[in-house]
A and B are shown apart, each in its own frame.
Chain A
């Protein structure tokens, strides 16, 4: 149905695509795999009419096409869910879904029809609880992901492209997504699916194309029974064992964080927890269980009652500034909206949280700043290794690493990590786990939130299971397995 041949895309200083072939059949789920920066997002942006290829041909149903703008692409029947959400925060859910193809008569928007249409699509997605009239800016990241999916479905698309749609979704939501994908493919719609989670590829994918450094290295591999080791070595050119680093050798030290009876109405209630120096504590729970909100409240970024004690000192409420000065750091969930200065360099983004460290009387020591940023870029293998580049020219996974790098500076006592490996590829993920474990070994306390239960279980020493805003289980990670945790977070059955 769709055939792309020899696609080349050159950005200033980077050849993002260097002769890529892609071949998608009607009714199949075609998975695109590749390391961070391999060129996956760039390829689908070529399809979506965002970028024009420098070379190469695209054929759709046998006829050559060249989508010159996002509108062209939509008219051709290509709908795209981008990696970085592209919703308009100030508009309502319904307005976002039908943006560009509003229900209108004579130029007047027919709001009721729009709301009705939106309700239908949302219900189909299994999310009738999202109100069409709600303002998108106030939704959670996961709900935003649903809205952007609804937008793609609202077009009568014959090819739907999904760039890491599951990154912001929890376990049960992914199941929902897969159900919809199956419905679509049954109707002959083709889906291009990008994800760094191999389990998902196995479950939903039909065939796999692997990209490496802007080239196709394998086409049409069967998704179900190509051995993992083969896929990983195609992607990375090396053999990565997908493993978690061994747990701490030392016993955890003094308490760095104590939270008592923390309550934020509507989000969570009566949360009590503690984190010791050198300990990694994981929070497991569904989206909406209050995981991220707890981190924000601890950080002082969200109003809450109760006590937060950092290294023996009680923090007064309402002060991120104070929390940071006392040695906390938060790597938030939504990197684009909450963490990145897109126009600024990688260096400026990395050092933003610890500027005073690099300055004397307000004067920035740029040589030292650059040296530290370069060190971290190398340590986390951020690619391309060019700290002076604007961060928006990095791929999603590499941006994520930069967000994490920000808090490796400045002698933190406690790190709050919200989905630290979102969008990071398999190989780099193992490296990040090692980095996080290394931080703990240095005596830093880590409070970790992740939608991926294996990640919480593999990385954390202790796990708190959340459901609907309360802690329903607390215990050593070793005593739990994925199945039991999933049971608890879904059914609310305490262990």
Chain B
């Protein structure tokens, strides 16, 4: 299993290597610069944190379409004038609480309300964005100068790399540990792989399912802090279509949408592939529609390759 796992990741590494070579050839002056790499990583950080949460939900047999909207709502809630009065720390806590709370609602609807995850989180997507628009009056809310500590996550650098990239790395490491070294992770695979077997083995499948969505919401809250730092704003338009990028990254990384299989590392590599493609298209001045087409193709190719892999072990 682990050998096959590494082989699968090998494919992703090869893809990343190829994209880097393309970058070096087509834009030798711009691609390998510190500023380009840093901007790529900062961009990847926000979706990356969300992707970690999405990986848990999908391995657990669910899906979360509401991640982008929850992030937007958290960013708006944390940047209202009322919240900003309490300073940057409370703003951060607010973002996390809002994210986790919305995730918990998803979890309750799916686990105890028995709604299909697709529908429950679709409803949350619409509702959370609506609430964000209402709270912000569809205006972009700037972070006040007194609260610039949040913005420093993006402006302060350690060894040349913005702090928010370290936050992302920390979330990945914690996510990996949670998935691979704890009972929570083990149960996630069980609940996604065979819910009936999990139930008969004495696992509280419903409670666990609920926690998975709450975890995803928590990641959205953290992502909200990062996007506030990067853009110095909270806005109801943040994170539009992030759910698609996050799910695509998870799929490219080898996690099955049917649940029970997958890895955090795969998801992050999948995300890096996406980020590299975006970057290459922008550097080469190609238009965004072509970029979307390329991404679509990548998803299909990745899934086809994985199907081959699957067959081999069966």
Q: Does A140 contact B (CB under 8 A)?
A: no
B184 to chain A, nearest CB (A): 6
Q: Which of A324, A341, A390 makes the CB contact (< 8 A) with B1?
A: A390
Q: Output the least CB separation between B178 and chain A (Å).
A: 9
- Whether the Cβ atoms of A343 and B260 lie closer than 8 Å is yes
Q: How far is the CB of A7 from chain B (nearest CB, A)?
A: 19
Residues on A with beta carbons closer than 8 Å to the beta carbon of B190: 341, 344, 352
- A368 proximal to B (CB < 8 A): no
Contact residue among A321, A345, A363 (Cβ-Cβ distance under 8 Å from B202): A321
Interface string of B167-197 (1 = CB under 8 A from A): 0000000000000011110110110011011
A35: min CB distance to chain B, Å: 23
Report the minimal beta-carbon distance from B182 to chain A, rounded to whole angstroms. Answer: 5
Decide yes or no whether B158 CB sits under 8 A from chain A: no
A residues near B201, Cβ cutoff 8 Å? 324, 339, 352-353, 406
> Is A1 engaged at the interface, CB distance under 8 Å to the other chain?
no
Q: Which of A12, A299, A320 has the most CB of B within 10 A?
A: A320
> Is B159's CB within 8 Å of the partner chain A?
no
Is there an interface contact between B183 and A355, defined as CB atoms closer than 8 Å? yes
Asked whether A342 lies within 8 Å of B194 as measured between CB atoms, the reply is yes
User: Is A487 in contact with chain B by the CB < 8 A criterion?
Assistant: no
Contacts of A341 in B (CB 8 A): 189-190, 193-194, 197-198, 260
Expressed in whole angstroms, the Cα–Cα distance for A171 and B205 within the complex equals 36
> Could you tell me if A390 and B193 are in contact, using CB atoms closer than 8 angstroms?
no
In the complex, are the beta carbons of B181 and A366 less than 8 A apart?
yes
Does A348 reach chain B (CB closer than 8 Å)? Answer: yes
**Which of A149-157, A216-224, A330-338 lines the interface with chain B?**
A330-338
Taking the complex as formed, is B203 at the interface, i.e. its CB lies under 8 A from any CB of chain A? yes
Cβ of A340: which chain B residues have Cβ within 8 Å of it?
194, 197
Query: Is the C-beta of B261 less than 8 angstroms from some C-beta in chain A?
Result: yes
A392 / chain B contacts, CB cutoff of 8 Å: 314
Q: Is A484 an interface residue (CB 8 A)?
A: no
Q: Are B183 and A321 touching (Cβ within 8 A)?
A: no
- Produce 1/0 per residue, B1-12, CB < 8 A to A: 110000000000
Closest to B256 in A: A343
Chain B residues contacting A356 (CB-CB under 8 Å) are: 183
Which residues from chain A contact B184 at a C-beta distance below 8 Å?
362
**Which residue of chain B has the shortest Cβ distance to A353 in the bound complex?**
B201
With CB as the reference atom, state the residue of chain B lying closest to A332.
Answer: B200
B199 at the interface (CB under 8 A from A): yes
* CB-contact partner of B186 in A320, A330, A364, under 8 A: A364
Contacting pair B204 A355 (CB below 8 A): no
* B187 cross-chain contacts in A, Cβ below 8 A: 355
In the complex, the answer to whether B197 meets A339 with C-beta atoms within 8 Å is: yes
The residue that A355 contacts in the complex, of B1, B186, B193, B200, with Cβ under 8 A, is: B186
B200–A330 CB distance below 8 A: yes
Instruction: Say yes or no for A359: interface residue by CB 8 A criterion.
Output: yes
Q: Which residues of B contact A389 (CB under 8 A)?
A: 1
> Knowing A341-B190, A345-B1, A362-B182 touch, does A320 contact B261 (C-beta < 8 A)?
no
B188 CB to closest chain A CB, in angstroms?
11
The CA-CA distance from A364 to B185 in the complex, in Å, is: 10
A330 CB to closest chain B CB (Å) equals 6
Q: Which of A387-437 contact B (CB under 8 A)?
A: 388-390, 392-393, 406
Residues from chain B with Cβ under 8 Å of A366 in the complex = 181
Interface residue? A325 (CB, 8 A) = yes
- Contact assessment for B182 and A323 in the assembled complex, using a CB-CB cutoff below 8 Å: no
In the complex, are the beta carbons of B200 and A363 less than 8 A apart? no
A320 contact set on B, CB distance < 8 A: 199-200, 202
| CB neighbours of B297 from chain A (8 A) | none
The verdict on A477 contacting chain B, using a C-beta distance below 8 Å, is no
Q: Is the CB of A359 within 8 A of B194?
A: no
Chain A 349-385 near chain B by CB (<8 Å), digits 1 or 0? 0001101100100111010000000000000000000
Q: How many residues of B are in contact with the other chain, CB < 8 A?
A: 25
Q: B2's closest neighbor in chain A, by CB?
A: A388
B59 to chain A, nearest CB (A): 11
| B residues in contact with A355, CB < 8 Å | 183, 186-187
B10 to chain A, nearest CB (A): 16
Is B313 located at the chain interface by the 8 A CB criterion? yes
Task: Report whether A390 and B186 are in contact in the complex, using a CB–CB cutoff of 8 Å.
Answer: no
With the chains together, A353 CA to B201 CA distance in Å?
5
In the assembled complex, which residues on chain A have CB atoms less than 8 Å from the CB atom of B1? 345, 388-390
A301: CB under 8 A from chain B?
Answer: yes
CA distance A315 to B232 in the complex (A): 56
Q: Which of A283-314 contact B (CB under 8 A)?
A: 299, 301
* Shortest distance from the beta carbon of B61 to any chain A beta carbon, whole Å: 12
Contacts of B204 in A (CB 8 A): 321
Is there contact, CB below 8 Å, between A363 and B181?
yes
Flag if A338 contacts B200 (CB, 8 Å).
yes
Within the complex, what minimum Cβ distance (angstroms) separates B114 from chain A?
A: 15
**Identity of the chain B residue whose Cβ is nearest the Cβ of A348 in the assembled complex:** B186
| CB-based nearest A residue for B312 | A12
Please provide the chain B residues from 132 to 187 with a CB less than 8 Å away from any CB of chain A in the complex: 181-184, 186-187
Q: In the complex, which residues of chain B have a beta carbon less than 8 angstroms from the beta carbon of A332?
A: 200
A301 contacts which chain B residues (CB < 8 A)?
199-200
* Inter-chain contacts of B260 with A (CB < 8 A): 341, 343-344
Taking CB as reference atom, which chain B residue is nearest A392? B314
CA distance A356 to B204 in the complex (A): 13
A323 to B196, CA, bound (A): 16
Residues in B with CB closer than 8 Å to A393 are 313
Most buried by A among B187, B198, B201, B314: B201
**CB closest residue in chain A, given B199:** A320
CA of A290 to CA of B27, assembled, Å = 72
Q: Give chain B interface residues in 55-98, CB to chain A under 8 Å.
A: none
| A340-B183 Cα distance, complex, nearest whole Å | 17
Distance between Cα atoms of A366 and B1 in the complex (Å): 16
* Inter-subunit contact B182/A363 (CB<8 Å): yes
| Closest chain A residue to B259, Cβ basis | A343
27 A-B residue pairs with Cβ-Cβ distance under 8 Å, sorted by A, are A12-B313, A320-B199, A320-B202, A324-B201, A325-B202, A330-B200, A332-B200, A338-B196, A338-B200, A339-B197, A340-B194, A341-B197, A343-B189, A344-B190, A344-B193, A344-B260, A352-B190, A352-B197, A352-B198, A353-B202, A355-B186, A363-B181, A364-B181, A364-B182, A390-B1, A390-B313, A392-B314
Starting from the known contacts A344-B190, A348-B189, 5 additional A-B residue pairs (CB-CB under 8 Å) come to A321-B203, A339-B197, A339-B201, A343-B189, A344-B193
Query: Which 9 residue pairs are nearest across A and B when measured between Cβ atoms?
Result: A324-B202, A353-B201, A341-B193, A362-B182, A352-B201, A355-B183, A321-B204, A359-B183, A339-B197
